[in-house]
Amino acid sequence: MTKYTKEDILSVLNAKRLDLLKYMAKAARYRKNNLITYSKNVFIPLTEICRNDCGYCNFKKDSNDSEAIILKSKKEVFKELKTAEEYGCKEALFTFGEDADEDKVVLKRLNDWGYDSMVDYIVDICEMTLDETSLLPHTNGGNFSYDALKRLKEVNVSMGLMLENSSERLMELPAHKKSPGKDPKLRLETISNAGKLKIPYTTGILIGIGETKEEIVDSLFDIREIYDEYGHIQEIIIQNFTSTPDIEMKDWPEPSLLDMIRTVTAATMLFGDTDVSIQVPPNLNYDTAQSFLLCGADDWGGVSPVSIDYVNPTSPWPTIDVLRNLTVSEGFELTERLCIYEKYVTSEWLNDRLLEKTLNLLKRL
């Protein structure tokens, strides 16, 4: 249970001038060590088809689009995994549009290949990853039922789903009005079910999509409440909306640097008495990334030497050398981690197969 009230955290989001500097300094004091972490991964979108149509999305494509990834074959995925292995990647990040198998084109391809659903397919893909590569699977494919999560737990060391925001009001705005899967009740249920199943988990919020500061506070507290109950949330992403020419929300203003600093500071304070990491995507904040280290951020997230960020294709990853320079020049040390944080590498959280594979990779870090 946090010692902070919602009013306390709202004060951080409204802080200006010296008050903001004082909050940043307070957040920085929660830092437990001098390490800034990252996970070297390969980003593999199994399909770009999605039932949601978010106003800020750069990922989704229509199944009639000749350039769309309808469904990557196991052969294609295996080739990407082996390339990633050669580059020293340890995380296989599998993404796909939510309930993509509701699309007839996707479902037909699944059926043609002998699968009844996307869950059947991703389970098989993860099995292949575990059996034939050294990489650890991490799946992020939107909301899943409890039963689907139970199956996926057996072949994933960790999973993730961005809460984005827990306000139902955003379902009326361009961000989520055409996206039934962004219903906060569904997302909070998925995150909670992952906790019940003891799945190490990544979640976070997206700022700049029409939310109020009060709604940011509510969202962070909703995550904190779930963490307090289940203890499975290993990192929280603070992600900023970025405008690109091809999205519905192309004319929306992006959040300011100070808004990002305030939000990172607030999240750090709210989770400062836990071991939950605060992550800011460096590819979305090239010129300002270092600022977030000064107010508590301690993780850069997944960074790939072999694949683009398919969710943000116009924002290339920094190289590991660039990331190290950004980190070291602020007085910190860059260190590689796995997609499952070390505290979860126990038989309480992983089955024997996943535990053995993870322990072997830990020795290579």
What is the CATH classification number for the domain harbouring 346?
A: 3.20.20.70
DSSP 286-350: TTTHHHHHTTT--EEEEE-SSS--TTSTTSPPPPHHHHHHHHHTTT-EEEEE-SS-GGG-STTTS
Both tokens of residue 314? 């116009």
Q: Is 339 annotated as a binding residue?
A: no
Domain membership flag for residue 137: yes
- Which residue, 344, 330, 341, is CA-closest to 34? 330
What is the Cα–Cα distance from 125 to 120, expressed in whole angstroms?
A: 9
Domain membership flag for residue 159: yes
Q: Which alpha helices (H) appear in 168-212, and where do they start and end?
A: 184-196
| Amino acid 313: pLDDT | 82
| Amino acid 310: pLDDT | 86
What is the Cα–Cα distance from 242 to 320, expressed in whole angstroms?
A: 23
**Whole-angstrom distance between the N-terminal and C-terminal Cα of the chain?**
33
DSSP 260-296: HHHHHHHHHHHTTTS--EEE--GGG-TTTHHHHHTTT
Which residue's entry shows tokens 């590991």? 320
Residues 6+ apart with CB under 8 A from 336: 37, 38, 39, 40, 90, 365
Q: Centre a 10 Å sphere on the Cβ of residue 172 and count the other Cβ atoms it contains.
A: 11
Q: Is 89 annotated as a binding residue?
A: no
| Amino acid 353: pLDDT | 98
Give me the torsion for CA of 218, 220, 226, 232, rounded to 10°. Answer: 170
Which parts of the chain register pLDDT below 70?
none
Domain membership flag for residue 70: yes
Both tokens of residue 282? 């460096």
Per the structure, the count of domains in the chain is 1
Q: What is the pLDDT of residues 193-217, one digit of tens each?
A: 999 999 999 999 999 999 999 999 9
Domain membership flag for residue 123: yes
Phi, psi values for residue 83, rounded to 5°: -65, -45
What is the Cα–Cα distance from 274 to 73, expressed in whole angstroms?
A: 41
Q: Is 295 annotated as a binding residue?
A: no
Q: Count CA atoms closer than 13 A to 333's CA, side-chain side.
A: 8
**pLDDT, averaged across the chain:** 96
Both tokens of residue 188? 């909070």
| Amino acid 286: pLDDT | 85
Handedness of CA 178, 180, 183, 187 (dihedral sign): negative
| Amino acid 143: pLDDT | 98
What is the span of the domain harbouring residue 61? 6-362
Domain membership flag for residue 61: yes
Q: Centre a 10 Å sphere on the Cβ of residue 290 and count the other Cβ atoms it contains.
A: 16
Q: Which burial class, exposed, middle or buried, applies to 173 when counting CB atoms under 10 A from its CB (0-12, 13-18, 19+)? A: middle
Residues 6+ apart with CB under 8 A from 327: 36, 293, 300, 333, 334
Domain membership flag for residue 132: yes
Domain membership flag for residue 110: yes
Domain membership flag for residue 1: no
What is the Cα–Cα distance from 215 to 264, expressed in whole angstroms?
A: 15
pTM of the model as a whole? 0.96
